Structure 1
Amino acid sequence: MVRQRAATILLLTLLMLVLAACGKTSEVSEEKPQQQDTPVEESGTQTIEHLKGTAVVPQKIERMVVLSAAYIDHMLTIGEKPAGVNVEVRYGGDYLPYFADQLEGVPTVGSADSPNLEAILQIDPDVIVIESRTAENTYDQLEKIAPTIVLGTEWLDYEDDATYWTQDLMTFAGMYNKVDLAKEKITEVEQQAEQLKAKIAQLDQKKLAYLRVREKTLQIYAAKGHPTNTLLYHDLGFEPTTVTPAEQREDLSMEKIADIDANFVVLEVDPNAEDYLNNINASSLWKGVPALNEDQVYTTDSFWLFKGWGVIGRSEIINEVEDMIQ
């Protein structure tokens, strides 16, 4: 009996040990799925396709550095403030005036052509966004600081697509989960253009020349080839002059000035072009341009080429054109 009881106790002890071991095994097997289920980091990121491949950036971006006036416009349009912005050296090396109020306190990080890598490093950005032209020289260096997204291509690649300027804006909106807001802002500026187009359609004469005075030459912008051109001739309905090229800006000799049959002239003057502008103003050929006789020459602030790429800038151009045709 004693032996039987001892054997029974031994069996019970062994059974308890086996059950305990099974319990531990089941505990381990229950914990394993939690260890394997590690997309906690992945769910906190997003993958962005761009001209250099893909970039993995945080789902919630806190600090974005942008090296383009267009990208500053895109961020401000969707209510986001950049952590660092480029400057335009030829325009004083500071914020572009039409962004200045909204960028107060934002660090500047050099130009798009020569970014200040140390200044960018100090910001410790989550992501850097640059244009394709910037990427040619500095992409590898910037990529070492933070994931770097390369946007933008040549406008002429998109031929007659007058909405091309919206594509990069939608990329920004997607990164911040603000696509609906971006669409709303695009619609607003398109409606603003449509209203002005209706007024321009009422004009008896609406030929427009968009000119740029450079240090030693006068250039005329094309009817296409840039979103500012497309805004003027497509969205607003101005007619190109007989010397307005179709797709790419051209130099105009002094003799060619006589062929500018424009009722309206938009004149952009480079900072170093005052002497050449004086030569043009002194020319009898210039004085024969219809727009001069009709007092319809409008000098811009030299930022239209930047403004054409974004909602904020395009809205400002539309307002300026409306003042011009009053």
Structure 2
Amino acid sequence: MRERLRHRRRRSRSRDPHDRHRLRRGHGPRRAEGGHGLLHDRRRHAHHARVHPREGTAHPRRLGRVPELLPQSELEGITGFHNYPEFNLEHILEVGPDFILNGLGYETDLHDKLTPIAPTYTYDGFDGGDWRDKFVKLATDLGREDRAQAWLDDYAARAADVKAELDAQGISPVVADVSFWDGQISVGCYSISCLVFADLGLEISPLADGDGDGAPDGEGTTLSLEQIGELSGIDVIFNGMSEDGSDIITNEEALTSNPLWTALPAVANDRVYGYNYEMSYGSPSGQDGLLEIIAKALLG
């Protein structure tokens, strides 16, 4: 699982040559984490560097811009810089952060290179676990449990509202997160999408169960172009794409020219929806955003 996650992350680099190793130079945004950020706003006095692939990677044509899934007004004036293919430790030092949040814990020698620059909190954001567990632990360790709980409560309330509306309207499609890469289709729960699916009580395609234990997982199922017909049991497809939407799966020529793909119910009925793949790595902003995308797709 862990190696698969890292492999997926490496694959994402080819979509964005600047990769997700991104450091945000900022001033401790109050609400950087989906409206309940864990870092105080110290706009005039403090800098925080974040070595974290989940949030903060701009589209390559928009380098330096905060991704649209994040609260723009709260992050006004914050820019990013290249931190790939090598960690740009000199630039981190130049930024002069007061605190570094490092989500690349599997880079075992990185923590000791960062701590001389500033106090550093390190964890592995790619260990395959639920990102919310790490979020709560981080909040607890930083003495900001109330902010984490506030977001968890707000999210749970909104998810409950959406689920109630789906139930009231009798909307119960089979859903799946589907991606296309290197001539193959993948169905799985690498993204946070399955967390939201589950919160809404939606039926997730059994193709997302890669290890056969009856539960969706990050391994999922990989299909060749000849096996596309196996997706016929999926009513609604969600697909991670870049911020501008240009690489949504419905634009893939290898699929659009394949009659097996165009005959799929989800495709024929125009039930394929994209979401910003920056959401995939888990964050309050991403979870909130994807919940709204799924709600709009299913409820209109």
Q: TM-score, structure 2 length as denominator?
A: 0.69
Distance 1:138 1:217 in 2: 34
- CA deviation map 1:291-312 (0-9, x unaligned): 1233211122333303xx2222
**Partner AA of 1:236 in structure 2:** L
Work out which of the two has the higher radius of gyration on C-alpha atoms and give 1 or 2. Answer: 1
Whether the aligned pair in 1 keeps the contact of 2:174 and 2:204 (CA below 8 Å) is: yes
The alpha-carbon distance between structure 1 residues 176 and 204, as it changes in their structure 2 partners (threshold 3 A), is closer
Distance 2:292 2:251 in 1: 28
Alpha-carbon shift at residue 103 of structure 1 (Å): 2.4
Are 1:237 and 2:212 an aligned pair? no
Whichever structure has more helix as a proportion of its residues is 1
Are 1:180 and 2:146 an aligned pair? yes
- Aligned match of 1:264: 236
Alpha-carbon shift at residue 172 of structure 1 (Å): 4.0
Whether the aligned pair in 1 keeps the contact of 2:194 and 2:204 (CA below 8 Å) is: no
For 1:282, which of 257, 263, 281 is the aligned residue? 257
Distance 2:192 2:143 in 1: 25
Are 1:311 and 2:277 an aligned pair? no
Whether the aligned pair in 2 keeps the contact of 1:189 and 1:315 (CA below 8 Å) is: yes
Alpha-carbon shift at residue 262 of structure 1 (Å): 1.0
Whether the aligned pair in 2 keeps the contact of 1:74 and 1:172 (CA below 8 Å) is: no
SS of structure 2 residue aligned to 1:251: strand
- Aligned match of 2:77: 105
Alpha-carbon shift at residue 89 of structure 1 (Å): 7.0
Q: TM-score, structure 1 length as denominator?
A: 0.64
- CA deviation map 1:50-94 (0-9, x unaligned): xxxxxxxxxxxxxx979xxxx953796346356334553775543
The alpha-carbon distance between structure 1 residues 244 and 250, as it changes in their structure 2 partners (threshold 3 A), is same
**Partner AA of 1:314 in structure 2:** Q
For 1:189, which of 152, 155, 171 is the aligned residue? 155
Distance 1:80 1:216 in 2: 45
- Aligned match of 2:118: 146
- Aligned match of 1:28: none
Are 1:130 and 2:102 an aligned pair? yes
The alpha-carbon distance between structure 1 residues 85 and 216, as it changes in their structure 2 partners (threshold 3 A), is farther
Whether the aligned pair in 1 keeps the contact of 2:280 and 2:286 (CA below 8 Å) is: no
Alpha-carbon shift at residue 180 of structure 1 (Å): 1.6
Are 1:203 and 2:151 an aligned pair? no
Whether the aligned pair in 2 keeps the contact of 1:211 and 1:266 (CA below 8 Å) is: yes
The alpha-carbon distance between structure 1 residues 165 and 113, as it changes in their structure 2 partners (threshold 3 A), is farther
Whether the aligned pair in 1 keeps the contact of 2:239 and 2:249 (CA below 8 Å) is: no
Equivalent residues, number: 248
Distance 1:138 1:269 in 2: 29
- Aligned match of 1:77: 37
RMSD: 3.3
Pairing 1:14-93 to 2, within 5 Å after superposition: 73=33, 77-78=37-38, 80-81=40-41, 83-85=48-50, 87-88=56-57, 91-92=60-61, 93=63
1 or 2 for the larger relative contact order (CA 8 Å, sep ≥6)? 2
Q: Which residues of structure 1 form unaligned runs of 5+?
A: 1-63, 159-163
Distance 1:205 1:170 in 2: 31
SS of structure 2 residue aligned to 1:129: strand
- CA deviation map 1:5-58 (0-9, x unaligned): xxxxxxxxxxxxxxxxxxxxxxxxxxxxxxxxxxxxxxxxxxxxxxxxxxxxxx
Q: Percent identity?
A: 17
- Aligned match of 1:228: 193
Distance 1:142 1:96 in 2: 25
